[in-house]
Amino acid sequence: MILLKTYKLKNVNFKLIFSVIALTILGILVIGSANSDYQSKQIIGMILGILVMVVVALVDYDFVLQFNWVYYFIVNGLLILVLMIGTSVGGATRWIDVGIRFQPSELAKVLLILFFAAYLTQHEDEINDRKFILKTAAIAAIPLVLILKEPDLSTTIVTFLIIAALLFITGLSYKLVGIILAIAVPAVVTLVLLVLRFGESLFGSHGYQARRILYWLRPEDYPQGAYQQQNSIMAIGSGQFIGKGLGNDSAESVKNGNYISEPQTDFIFAVAGEELGFIGSLAIIFLLLYITYQCIETSKKAKDLSGKLICVGMACLIGFQSFVNICVVTGLMPNTGLPLPFVSYGLTSLVTLYAGLGFVLNVGLQQKKY
């Protein structure tokens, strides 16, 4: 078949596969301790994810990238559909329920990596052309705005960072990157200062974004809004070096006292910190770093730019998302709804991440010859 090739077993990145499975199993154990009702579903998600990863790994990514514009329109179509008929939870509309509930923004991140891997490869020679940059910014803006409208600021930021990294790897001028950073960093600092000065009125109808910043910087003034993050910090600290043990029934446990809502999702790292302690938390961070590292190492062996961009895109997705999630749980960033890759409960996130790593494995199977 045109989409399949004969691959050599020695080129399979078993280190990446084993580390991903190990991290997912660790996540399943912590999810079972956080809320046992979700553990069996996550196990099914892992099995499905592994099957998807194996199938995708055998498909020639050159063939897949021929349909990059199809992925782009699918992404935008699903994101528009979310705004039209999506299910709202906690004031956010991020899910579509068609018998099976899934989150299109999670799928969007992987599909956009595929789209931009092909798109930027086709226009590599124009990467620093002003018209091309404006055109690319417009193309990226559509899905980013749709995700922001859900609202899902954290996913918007992570997706933006992934696209920015892909542009940089393609060859975007260091000078231009410097100019953007020189504008962006002071702008963010100014925004935070304005929020502290004017509060939620600064954002009008979207005052929740300002409130998140205020909860983070002034938790003593907003205890009702800051409790989730403050309790998370307390949980991690209470785990000390070796933790209280998975599934413990300690009355002093932050998890057992229901002081963290939905602990199996965005705040799963707090449960891991309390029950597995510093050692368990370090193991999760190490595995996330190692998976990211393996994606980057695979990118160095890619036979072409598109393969390199796929690997870098997945490395950025896992790295950036892990960084933001852990920063939120430990109080280093404002509270945002973002899952911890391979650890948090969420079948859409888990299966799409496995699919993305399937493409990384395929890039490794077709590595350049020296």
How confident is the model at residue 207, as a pLDDT? 58
> Which DSSP string do the residues of 357-369 spell out, in sequence order?
HHHHHHHHHTPPP
Task: Calculate the CA 211 to chain-centre distance.
Answer: 23
Q: Are 250 and 256 in contact (CB under 8 A)?
A: yes
Contact 61, 366 (CB under 8 A): yes
pTM for the model stands at 0.92
pLDDT of residue 222: 75
Give the count of alpha carbons within 13 A of 365, CB side only: 22
Q: Which run of H or E residues covers position 88?
A: strand 87-89
| Predicted local confidence at residue 262, as pLDDT | 78
Amino acid letter, 167: L
Question: Nearest to residue 163, comparing CAs of 146, 148, 143?
Answer: 143
pLDDT score at 8:
81
Q: Are 159 and 111 in contact (CB under 8 A)?
A: no
State the pLDDT at residue 257: 65
User: Is the Cβ–Cβ distance between 93 and 150 less than 8 Å?
Assistant: yes
Instruction: Give the pLDDT score at 208.
Output: 64
Q: Report the run of H or E that residue 169 belongs to, with start and end.
A: helix 153-170
Residues 6+ apart with CB under 8 A from 164: none
C-beta atoms surrounding 313 within 10 Å: 28
**C-alpha to C-alpha distance for 226 and 273, rounded to whole angstroms:** 19
pLDDT for position 198: 67
Report domain extents, the chain.
18-357
Each residue's pLDDT, cut to its tens digit, for the chain (370 residues) gives 456 667 888 889 999 999 999 999 999 999 998 888 899 999 999 999 999 999 999 999 999 999 999 999 999 999 999 999 887 776 677 888 777 788 899 999 999 999 999 999 999 999 999 999 999 999 999 999 999 888 788 899 999 999 999 999 999 988 888 887 788 778 777 877 776 666 666 555 455 666 777 777 777 777 777 778 888 888 898 889 998 888 777 766 766 667 777 788 889 999 999 999 999 999 999 999 999 999 999 999 999 999 999 999 999 999 999 999 999 999 888 887 789 999 999 999 999 999 999 999 999 999 876 5
Question: Hey, what amino acid is at 347?
Answer: L
d(CA 213, CA 199): 9
